[in-house]
Amino acid sequence: MSLLNPLRRILCTRPQVLALTRFSSSYVSRMRFLNRLKQDDEACAAALQDGQLVLFHRLQPLLQRGPTGTFRPVTLTCSGVQTLLQNFGSDGPLLEDSILIGCSDQNQAQFCLDVGHLDQAAVAEFCAGTFIDLRKSFFLLPGPAARLVAKAQALLRWHQTNGFCSATGQPTHRNRAGSQRVSSSSSSMIYYPKMSPVVIVLLSDGSRCLLGRQASFPRGMYSALAGFCDMGETLEEALHREVAEEVGLEVQDVSYSSSQHWPFPHSSFMVGCHATVSPAHTQLNVDRSELEDARWFTLEEISGALQAGVPSRGGPPPDVWLPPKHAVAHHLITEWRDRQRRLQASE
């Protein structure tokens, strides 16, 4: 099979002019465009014809190393995917399984498609890319691309596991964009993709911050405390409860920092907060069934660990290292370090 010619035809090498680019390229126009595609199946089908597609194979995204050595998702045109499917003897309707995931800066609708029924190595070779496990991909890709493939994989997974109505057992059917599924029974129940809310908190006693590790974490990695919100709880209640359960402390002030969609293992909505405990009450009582260890860390220790970064594979990991850049835990720890430095400088 000749690689280069089909490749040239199928890869999106430059932005295409869209019928729908009559909108201005502003953020508001893009968001309204996307919202319309979720509601209007015909408009969505038309946008797919001019859209970009990111391929997955059994939930692994197809990546490619760019000229500067950085990874990026392989992006194909609609006709490119059709060519690929024909080449591999797959029939046309599969393209309709694609799911809307976003809109490029050039107002081009972005979709994802899982070709898990095709030969993985052959598709990868055809597209001059590699299918890479999502956890690895997430940290190889730059931020916006990492978020896009994480969202895509979460949606693909949700569709693959929500084919039936949980009330009646009848099949569910998706809309064109893949933003919902409706039960085919008389109940017409509508299902939307789900995320589990998780609160993640960096505790400070004024001069130190608290990090913990679960036995399942990679060796030596410490992170901020996190926990799933229970039904009926506010975020603040979940935060107070998780800290009490995991390390036996009572939290004082809480402030919101930032949030992120976390695809591992099953789509959590992480809400990142800072909180304080009284310097007089910092004695830990760690629940060893939840955490293998939890400790207070000084500014020097945190600064050093941030500076050292994530250990490379192969050699023995350091005693303590911190979550990588794309994790909200990393963001919280960096914010704390910067705030402590400012405080020290102003003293």
Ligand X SMILES: NC(=O)C1=CN([C@@H]2O[C@H](COP(=O)(O)OP(=O)(O)OC[C@H]3O[C@@H](n4cnc5c(N)ncnc54)[C@H](O)[C@@H]3O)[C@@H](O)[C@H]2O)C=CC1
Instruction: List contacts with ligand X (CB under 6 A).
Output: 196, 198, 200, 223, 226-228, 242, 262, 264, 268, 270, 290, 323, 327-329
- String of DSSP letters for 158-181: HHHT--B-TTT--BEEE-TTSS-E
Closer Cβ to Mg ion, 115 or 243, answer by number: 243
Q: How far is the CB of 235 from Mg ion (least distance, A)?
A: 15
Q: How far is the CB of 324 from Mg ion (least distance, A)?
A: 19
* Position with the least CB separation from Mg ion: 227
Q: Do 340 and 296 touch, CB atoms closer than 8 A? A: no
Among 92, 95, 73, CA closest to 11? 73
Among 296, 299, 298, CA closest to 283? 296
State the binding partner of 328 from Mg ion, ligand X, none, CB within 5 to 8 A by kind. ligand X
Closer Cβ to Mg ion, 99 or 226, answer by number: 226
Residue type, position 164, single letter: F
Q: In Å, how far are 231, 275, 285, 340 from 250, measured between CA atoms?
A: 21, 10, 11, 22
d(CA 204, CA 251): 10
Closer Cβ to ligand X, 72 or 261, answer by number: 261
Closer Cβ to ligand X, 236 or 290, answer by number: 290
Closer Cβ to Mg ion, 55 or 226, answer by number: 226
Closer Cβ to Mg ion, 103 or 226, answer by number: 226
d(CA 95, CA 48): 9
d(CA 22, CA 104): 15
116 lines the binding site for Mg ion (CB under 5 A): no
Both tokens assigned to 263? 């695809």
Q: How far is the CB of 2 from ligand X (least distance, A)?
A: 43
Closer Cβ to ligand X, 103 or 328, answer by number: 328
Closer Cβ to ligand X, 51 or 323, answer by number: 323
* Touching Mg ion, residues 224-243 (CB under 5 A): 226-227
Angle between helices 27-39 and 41-49 (to 10 degrees): 120
How many other C-beta atoms can be found within 10 angstroms of the C-beta atom of residue 183?
A: 20
Q: How far is the CB of 97 from ligand X (least distance, A)?
A: 27
Q: How far is the CB of 223 from Mg ion (least distance, A)?
A: 9
Taking residues 41 to 80 in sequence order and writing x for each that binds Mg ion by CB under 5 A, - otherwise, the string is ----------------------------------------
Q: How far is the CB of 262 from ligand X (least distance, A)?
A: 4
State the binding partner of 323 from ligand X, Mg ion, none, CB within 5 to 8 A by kind. ligand X
Across 213-241, b (16+ Cβ under 10 Å) vs e yields beeeeeeebbbbbbbebeeebebeebbbb
Q: How far is the CB of 287 from Mg ion (least distance, A)?
A: 9
d(CA 224, CA 201): 6
Among 114, 112, 90, 129, CA closest to 3? 129
Stretch of 2-10, 47-55, 85-93, 218-226 contacting Mg ion, by CB under 5 A: 218-226
Residue 22, phi then psi, degrees to nearest 5: -65, -20
Which H or E run includes 233?
A: none
State the binding partner of 249 from ligand X, Mg ion, none, CB within 5 to 8 A by kind. none
State the binding partner of 12 from Mg ion, ligand X, none, CB within 5 to 8 A by kind. none
Binding site for Mg ion (CB under 5 A): 226-227
